Amino acid sequence: MDASSAVTALSALAHEHRLAAYRMLVEAGPDGLAAGVIAERLGLPPSSLTFHLQALLQAGLATQRRVSRQIIYAMVPAAMNGLVAYLTEHCCGGQGGCGPACEPVAPSAPEGASAA
């Protein structure tokens, strides 16, 4: 990632509704969420939500796909990993990788649950 891409990504996240939508997409994982679900959870009209989601799409932080009549948005793990890597590139004087990586995995069993 270069400085221009980092600025674009950070600018896209620098709004309360876009940040909340992105965090929902991160929580949803690779399957993503329908635009209507995001709008309902954020309490935004669809037209306002579309404006905010377009900023995430243009920054490369999210993708969209059509499933029947719904538009599904999903986060792009590589984009966030690239942003975090760019921001932490020289962390600790370059002595090692300090930044966390976003690697979506299947949910683990709740604590105390026995494995089958």
* 88-100 pLDDT tens trace: 887 766 665 565 6
107 in a domain, yes or no?
A: no
**Which residues, in sequence order, are CB contacts of 46 under 8 Å at separation 6+?**
35, 36, 39
* Beta-ladder partners of 26: none
**Alpha-carbon distance 3 to 72, whole Å?**
29
Please check whether residue 109 lies inside any domain of the structure.
no
54-111 pLDDT tens trace:
999 999 999 999 999 999 999 999 999 999 888 888 776 666 556 565 666 655 555 5
Q: Tell whether 14 is covered by a domain.
A: yes
Supply the range of the domain harboring residue 50: 3-86
Burial class of 101 by CB neighbour count within 10 A (0 to 12, 13 to 18, 19+):
exposed
For residue 53, the domain's CATH number is: 1.10.10.10
Is residue 105 one of the residues assigned to a domain?
no
Question: Domain for residue 42, yes or no?
Answer: yes
Summarize the confidence of residues 3-10 as an average pLDDT. 95
Q: Whole-prediction pTM value?
A: 0.78
Between CA 86 and CA 103 the distance in angstroms is 17
